[in-house]
């Protein structure tokens, strides 16, 4: 019984450890010991806004550029915006079987990688010819942007529909600053939720197992005498002898072993996000 209880406790702890590993791996923003607001490892020196259509006035673009740079530098991520009339012909020809929104997101993905932005960041892309948009998150922001891109766009929707691109980029900056400011807090909340759920699941499994073991013990009664455990006439020892039969010796050669492993990746960094039309 004690061994079963220990096994249940060990299984529960393993479940918690596995959930923590799955959650933390590749998504932990920074060490909890750091007295810093940084979410990522650092930002690049690239421009924050690439407006190829002059959709934003120069003076307004300069202010937005500085603001996005301040956000990027403060949180250690790259926050970038690209506005173009159409997507590159290479994307149009290679992915012609995909819809417009998918190709705009691919444009954002390739642009971010080609301009060598940092490992952690987000890029917002607008294509005016078909009025499509896409938001892609990388590194520490990949999962977050992958789940929040639609709500970010909803805040910009009215400005984009009215072709107020400067105002839309300003709202995008607001949304990113708010998201990054609460990034650590949300991460801690999600982690705590996973721990609680794991413990509850382990407790339920443990209770089910303990109940099953307890049910098996209902028919057991305590015996006071050793004779109660002996079946009369079941054991009759008349004579006993020891005989040496044979001896076998086997020898096995002990081999040494070694192992090595490696992993490779190519084609740029992965990203997550989505898009639509405005």
pLDDT in tens, 92-137: 999 999 999 999 999 999 999 999 999 999 999 999 999 999 999 9
The total of structural domains in the chain comes to 2
First-last CA distance in the chain = 64
Split at pLDDT 50, 70, 90, the class of 55 is very high
Indicate whether 103 and 4 sit together in one domain.
no
Note the residue count of the chain: 278
* Bridge partners, residue 277, by sequence: 132
- To the nearest 10 degrees (0 to 180), the angle between helices 183-216 and 2-24 is 160
- The span from the CA of 141 to the CA of 66, in Å, is 21
Indicate whether 49 and 30 sit together in one domain.
no
SS3 content of the chain, % helix, strand, coil (to 5): 50, 10, 40
Residue 93 lies in a domain: yes
Split at pLDDT 50, 70, 90, the class of 18 is low
* CATH number for position 142: 3.10.310.50
Q: How much is the mean pLDDT over the chain? A: 79
Domain range for residue 17?
1-34+185-216
The pTM for the full model equals 0.62
Indicate whether 19 and 82 sit together in one domain.
no
Percentage, residues of the chain above pLDDT 90: 55
Split at pLDDT 50, 70, 90, the class of 221 is low
Angle formed at CA 242 by CA 239 and CA 243, multiple of 5 degrees: 125
Percentage, residues of the chain above pLDDT 70: 59
- To the nearest 10 degrees (0 to 180), the angle between helices 165-181 and 183-216 is 50
Residue 90 lies in a domain: yes
Residue ending a domain, choose from 160, 181, 202: 181
Residues 82, 109 contacting (CB under 8 angstroms): no
Residue 226 lies in a domain: no
Indicate whether 40 and 30 sit together in one domain.
no
Indicate whether 40 and 177 sit together in one domain.
yes
Indicate whether 134 and 195 sit together in one domain.
no
- The span from the CA of 81 to the CA of 124, in Å, is 5
Residue 263 lies in a domain: no
- The span from the CA of 256 to the CA of 86, in Å, is 61
- The span from the CA of 30 to the CA of 215, in Å, is 49
Indicate whether 79 and 46 sit together in one domain.
yes
Residue 265 lies in a domain: no
Residue 271 lies in a domain: no
Burial class, 129, CB count within 10 angstroms (exposed 0-12 / middle 13-18 / buried 19+):
exposed
CA atoms within 13 A on the CB side of 245: 2
3-state secondary structure 103-134: HHHHHHHHHHHHCCCCCCEEEEEEECCCCEEE
At residue 73, the pLDDT reads 95
For range 145-161, the mean pLDDT: 96
For range 207-223, the mean pLDDT: 66
How many angstroms separate the Cα of 226 from the Cα of each of 69, 185, 218, 229, 234? 84, 64, 21, 6, 15
Indicate whether 67 and 161 sit together in one domain.
yes
Indicate whether 29 and 43 sit together in one domain.
no
- The span from the CA of 188 to the CA of 262, in Å, is 32
Residue 112 lies in a domain: yes
Indicate whether 130 and 100 sit together in one domain.
yes
Indicate whether 9 and 124 sit together in one domain.
no
- The span from the CA of 2 to the CA of 133, in Å, is 60
For range 233-253, the mean pLDDT: 62
Greater confidence (257 vs 74) lies with 74
Residue 251 lies in a domain: no
Indicate whether 10 and 64 sit together in one domain.
no
């Amino acid at each position: 019984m004690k061994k079963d209880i220990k096994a249940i406790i060990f299984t529960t702890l393993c479940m918690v450890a596995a959930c923590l590993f799955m959650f933390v791996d590749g998504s932990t923003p920074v060490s909890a010991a750091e007295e810093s607001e940084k979410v990522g490892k650092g930002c690049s020196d690239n421009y924050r806004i690439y407006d190829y259509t002059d959709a934003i006035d120069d003076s307004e673009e300069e202010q937005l550029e500085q603001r996005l740079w301040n956000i990027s530098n403060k949180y250690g991520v790259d926050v970038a915006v690209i506005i173009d009339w159409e997507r590159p012909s290479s994307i149009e020809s290679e992915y012609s079987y995909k819809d417009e929104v998918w190709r705009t997101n691919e444009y954002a993905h390739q642009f971010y990688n080609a301009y060598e932005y940092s490992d952690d960041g987000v890029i917002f892309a607008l294509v005016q010819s078909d009025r499509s948009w896409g938001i892609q998150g990388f590194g520490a922001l990949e999962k977050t942007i992958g789940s929040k891109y639609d709500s970010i766009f909803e805040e910009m929707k009215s400005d984009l529909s009215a072709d107020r691109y400067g105002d839309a980029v300003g709202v995008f900056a607001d949304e990113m600053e708010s998201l990054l400011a609460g990034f650590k807090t949300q991460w801690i909340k999600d982690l705590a939720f996973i721990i609680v759920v794991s413990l509850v699941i382990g407790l339920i499994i443990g209770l089910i197992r303990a109940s099953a073991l307890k049910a098996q013990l209902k028919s057991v009664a305590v015996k006071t005498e050793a004779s109660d455990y002996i079946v009369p006439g079941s054991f009759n020892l008349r004579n006993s002898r020891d005989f040496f039969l044979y001896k076998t010796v086997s020898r096995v050669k002990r081999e040494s072993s070694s192992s090595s492993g490696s992993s490779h990746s190519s084609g740029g960094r992965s990203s997550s996000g989505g898009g639509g039309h405005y």
